[in-house]
Amino acid sequence: MREEVIDFLLQILLKTSQSSSDKKVLYPLMQDNLDKLDLNFADLLRHWSKNYFAGESLDKAQTVTVAEVIGNFGTLIGQFPQGNAVVG
> Is pLDDT of 1 > 50?
yes
Q: What is the pLDDT of residue 46?
A: 94
CA distances from 34 to 52, 53, 84, 86 (A): 25, 27, 11, 7
Per residue in 22-53, pLDDT (tens digit) is 999 999 999 999 999 998 999 999 999 998 88
